C-alpha cells in the first residue's frame, strides 16, 4: 500500500500502482467523469499513469488551467492525427497548448495547408474524437526514437530528439498517430466535443528567421458545443474592440514602414490620452515620495554586462552602436534599472537616506522578431512607467505594501476591478538556479506573503516561478470581456545591488547592501493603452478621453453664440 496526500492534507491509502483516475473514482463517480489532469508531487501527470510510491496529488477539472492545458495539448495531437490522415505528405514541428487553445507548426512542402482546408481538418478531428481513441504514453530510448521518427522522414522531430538525454524521452500514441511529447494528455479523445481552427500564420522553425518557415495552425476545443459558441461570440466582440482598429478610427496612434516596424507614432489625440495617464501616475507617485529621474536612451555595453542583462537579453537587443573610439560600444537601452543603480551609486548613502524611490517614464528598445509584433502590445520601442526603490531590509515589507496601494489606486480609477494575484517563489528543491543567500530569500518571500495577508489579498502561490534574483508579485487583470492581461508587477531584487556593489552606511557605521524593488503598475504605456482601449471599447472615462467637451450649435446662425460659450 502507498499513502496519497490530498491538497487539504488528508491522507488515504491505495494499492501501489494506482492511477490518478482510479483515485478520482474512489472519491466520486462525478469527479472521475470531470477530471482532466493531475499533478503528482508537483509534476504534471497523466490520469492513467500509475503511482508507485507515497505521493501528494492534485486533480484538475476544466475550470483549472492545468485541466485546460491537458485538454488542449491532446487536441493539438488530435489535429496532427487528422492532418496526417488527410495530408500524408505533411511533416510536423511542435504542437503545444497555449493560454487559449493550441497550435501545431507543420511543413506542407510544395502543398502547404490552406485556409480552405481548415473545415476539412475540423470534421476529421470530430470524427476521430468520437472514436474515443485511447492515448498511450511510452518511455522510449533515444536510438529507438531516432529510428522511429527518422524512418518517417520527420526531420524536425529528429532534430529535437538529438538534443534530448537518453532515458528522458516519451511518446504518446492515439490511433495511428505517434508524437514525441512530454505530456500530460487526456486518457482518451472522447471529451473533445467541439472544435474550431481559428487561423493560420507563418512561423520560423524554432523562432529563427534563418530557418525554414512552417505553417502554424491555431485552434481551440471545448467539452461542450455551447462553450465554443460562447467563445466565438466573445471573439467577435474582441474584434470590435481590437486596439489596432480603434486606434486608427480614434486617431490615437499609427505605424509607418518608413519609421520601422514595431515603432509606434503617437498622434495628437493619443498623446493627450497618454499624457493624462502619465500625469495621473506622477501625482500618485509624488504623494508616495517618489523622485523623478531621466536617463539616456543609450548606455555603454559594459553597463548591461555588469547588470547581467546582456548575457540574458543580448540576443534580443538591437546590435551594438560602434563609436569612432576603438572598442567602444553602446546599446539602445533595453531596461532602465542599471541606469537607476548608477544614480544611486553616484553619491554616498546613509541609512537615514533610505528608502530612495527613483521613478522614470523611460523608453527602452528590444529587437522583437517581425512575426511577433502586434499593435501596441508587442513593439520594439516602449516606455515603461518604471521605478526602483532602494531600501533597508527592515523597510522592505512596508515599501512593498505601498507599491500595492499604488496598483490598487490605478486599478480602481480605471475600473479594473476583476483581477488575480500570483506570488512567485523559488523552487525549494532546486535552489542552485537562484542567487543570494537563503536568509535574504526567506526575508523577501516572507515580506511578500505577509504583505498580501495584511491587504487581505488572496494570491495564488507558484513555486519555481520566481525570477533568478528574487520573488515577485504579479497582477493579472480581467478586462470587460473576460480576457486576462498581466499588468502590474512588483519584484524584489538582491542581485543588482550585489552586481553594482551598492552600499549605504548603517546606524552601526558599517557598510550594508540595500534591497531593490522593481515596480511598473502600467507595465508599459504602449501595452497599457492597448489594454485600456480594448477594455473600454474606445469609450474612455471622461477624465482620460481626448474630447472631453463638445459644443454643438443646432444651426449655423448660432455659431457666434457657440463661440461665446466655448
Beta bridge partners of 365: 381
- Per the CB < 8 A criterion, the answer to whether 304 and 332 are in contact is no
| Cα end-to-end distance, the chain, whole Å | 84
Beta bridge partners of 59: 38
Which residue has cell 470530430?
Answer: 126
Is 510 noted as a catalytic residue in this protein? no
Kindly name the residue from 117, 385, 386, 474 that is annotated as catalytic.
Answer: 386
Is 206 noted as a catalytic residue in this protein? no
Which of 532, 552, 288, 242 shows the shortest CA–CA distance to 416?
A: 532
Task: Looking at 300-388, list the stretches that DSSP marks H as alpha helix, in order from N- to C-terminal side.
Answer: 301-307, 309-313, 337-345
Residue 171 burial (CB count, 10 A): 19
- Per the CB < 8 A criterion, the answer to whether 70 and 61 are in contact is no
Measured between alpha carbons, how far is residue 543 from residues 133, 524, 529, 538, 549 in Å? Answer: 57, 20, 15, 13, 11
Residue 39 CA to residue 503 CA, distance in Å, equals: 44
Residue 191 CA to residue 223 CA, distance in Å, equals: 5
Which of 102, 94, 93 shows the shortest CA–CA distance to 74?
A: 102
Kindly name the residue from 388, 397, 402, 535 that is annotated as catalytic.
Answer: 388
- Per the CB < 8 A criterion, the answer to whether 495 and 470 are in contact is yes
Examine residue 108 and say whether the peptide bond preceding it is cis (omega within 30 degrees of 0). Answer: no
Is 472 noted as a catalytic residue in this protein? yes
H/E run at residue 381: strand 381-391
Kindly name the residue from 274, 309, 366, 527 that is annotated as catalytic.
Answer: 366
Is 518 noted as a catalytic residue in this protein? yes
Quick one: 317 exposed, middle or buried, by C-beta within 10 A (0-12, 13-18, 19+)?
A: buried
Kindly name the residue from 185, 349, 518, 535 that is annotated as catalytic.
Answer: 518
Residue 490 CA to residue 499 CA, distance in Å, equals: 20
Is 384 noted as a catalytic residue in this protein? yes
**Residue 350 DSSP one-character state:** B
Kindly name the residue from 337, 341, 391, 452 that is annotated as catalytic.
Answer: 337
- The sign of the CA dihedral 524, 281, 471, 475 is negative
Is 137 noted as a catalytic residue in this protein? no
Q: Is 128 helix (H, G, I), strand (E, B) or coil?
A: helix
Kindly name the residue from 73, 124, 216, 472 that is annotated as catalytic.
Answer: 472
Kindly name the residue from 384, 402, 491, 512 that is annotated as catalytic.
Answer: 384
Residue 523 CA to residue 144 CA, distance in Å, equals: 47
Residue 169 CA to residue 102 CA, distance in Å, equals: 22
Beta bridge partners of 473: 423, 490
- The sign of the CA dihedral 273, 278, 283, 285 is positive
Half-sphere exposure of 273 (CA within 13 A, CB side): 26
Residue 14 grid cell: 491505495
Is 341 noted as a catalytic residue in this protein? no
Bridge pairing between strands 55-60 and 2-5: parallel
Q: Annotated catalytic sites, by residue?
A: 337, 366, 384, 386, 388, 472, 518
Amino acid at each position: 500500500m502507498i499513502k496519497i496526500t490530498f491538497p487539504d492534507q488528508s491522507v488515504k491509502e491505495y494499492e501501489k500502482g494506482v492511477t490518478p483516475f482510479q483515485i478520482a473514482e474512489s472519491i466520486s463517480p462525478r469527479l472521475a467523469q470531470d477530471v482532466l489532469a493531475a499533478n503528482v508531487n508537483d509534476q504534471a501527470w497523466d490520469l492513467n499513469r500509475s503511482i508507485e510510491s507515497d505521493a501528494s496529488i492534485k486533480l484538475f477539472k476544466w475550470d483549472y488551467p492545468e485541466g485546460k492545458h491537458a485538454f488542449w495539448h491532446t487536441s493539438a495531437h488530435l489535429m496532427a492525427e487528422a492532418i496526417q490522415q488527410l495530408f500524408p505528405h505533411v511533416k510536423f514541428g511542435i504542437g503545444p497548448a497555449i493560454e487559449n487553445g493550441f497550435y501545431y507548426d507543420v511543413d506542407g512542402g510544395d502543398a502547404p495547408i490552406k485556409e480552405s482546408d481548415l473545415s476539412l481538418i475540423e470534421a476529421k478531428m470530430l470524427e476521430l474524437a468520437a472514436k474515443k481513441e485511447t492515448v498511450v504514453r511510452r518511455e522510449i530510448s533515444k536510438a529507438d526514437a531516432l529510428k522511429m521518427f527518422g524512418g518517417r522522414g520527420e526531420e524536425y522531430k529528429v532534430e529535437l530528439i538529438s538534443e534530448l538525454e537518453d532515458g528522458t524521452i516519451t511518446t504518446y500514441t492515439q490511433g495511428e498517430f505517434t508524437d514525441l511529447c512530454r505530456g500530460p494528455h487526456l486518457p482518451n479523445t472522447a471529451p473533445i466535443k467541439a472544435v474550431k481552427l481559428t487561423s493560420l500564420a507563418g512561423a520560423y522553425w524554432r523562432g529563427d528567421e534563418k530557418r525554414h518557415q512552417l505553417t502554424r495552425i491555431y485552434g481551440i476545443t471545448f467539452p461542450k458545443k455551447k462553450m465554443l459558441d460562447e467563445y466565438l461570440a466573445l471573439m467577435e466582440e474582441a474584434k470590435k474592440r481590437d486596439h489596432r482598429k480603434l486606434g486608427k478610427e480614434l486617431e490615437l496612434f499609427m505605424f509607418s514602414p518608413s519609421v520601422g516596424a514595431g515603432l509606434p507614432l503617437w498622434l495628437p489625440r493619443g498623446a493627450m490620452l497618454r499624457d493624462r495617464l502619465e500625469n495621473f501616475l506622477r501625482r500618485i507617485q509624488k504623494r508616495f515620495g517618489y523622485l523623478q529621474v531621466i536617463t539616456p536612451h543609450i548606455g555603454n555595453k559594459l553597463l548591461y554586462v555588469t547588470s547581467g542583462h546582456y548575457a540574458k537579453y543580448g540576443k534580443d537587443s538591437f546590435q551594438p552602436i560602434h563609436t569612432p573610439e576603438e572598442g567602444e560600444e553602446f546599446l539602445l537601452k533595453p531596461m532602465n534599472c542599471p541606469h537607476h543603480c548608477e544614480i544611486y551609486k553616484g553619491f554616498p548613502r546613509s541609512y537615514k537616506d533610505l528608502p530612495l524611490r527613483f521613478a522614470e517614464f523611460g523608453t527602452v528598445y528590444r529587437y522583437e522578431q517581425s512575426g511577433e509584433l502586434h499593435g501596441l502590445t508587442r513593439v520594439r520601442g516602449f516606455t515603461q512607467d518604471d521605478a526602483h526603490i532602494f531600501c533597508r531590509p527592515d523597510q522592505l515589507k512596508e515599501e512593498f505594501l505601498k507599491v500595492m496601494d499604488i496598483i490598487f489606486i490605478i486599478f480602481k480609477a480605471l475600473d479594473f476591478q476583476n483581477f488575480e494575484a500570483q506570488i512567485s517563489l523559488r523552487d525549494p528543491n532546486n535552489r542552485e538556479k537562484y542567487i543570494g543567500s537563503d536568509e535574504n530569500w526567506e526575508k523577501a518571500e516572507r515580506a511578500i506573503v505577509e504583505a498580501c495577508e495584511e491587504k487581505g489579498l488572496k494570491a495564488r502561490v507558484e513555486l519555481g516561478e520566481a525570477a533568478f534574483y528574487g520573488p515577485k508579485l504579479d497582477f493579472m487583470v480581467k478586462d470587460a470581456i473576460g480576457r486576462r492581461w498581466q499588468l502590474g508587477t512588483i519584484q524584489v531584487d538582491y542581485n543588482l545591488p550585489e552586481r553594482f556593489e551598492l552600499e549605504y552606511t548603517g546606524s552601526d557605521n558599517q557598510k550594508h547592501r540595500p534591497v531593490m524593488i522593481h515596480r511598473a503598475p502600467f507595465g508599459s504605456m504602449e501595452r497599457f493603452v492597448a489594454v485600456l482601449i480594448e477594455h473600454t471599447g474606445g469609450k474612455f472615462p471622461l477624465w482620460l478621453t481626448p474630447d472631453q467637451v463638445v459644443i454643438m450649435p443646432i444651426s449655423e446662425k448660432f455659431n457666434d453664440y457657440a463661440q461665446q460659450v466655448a
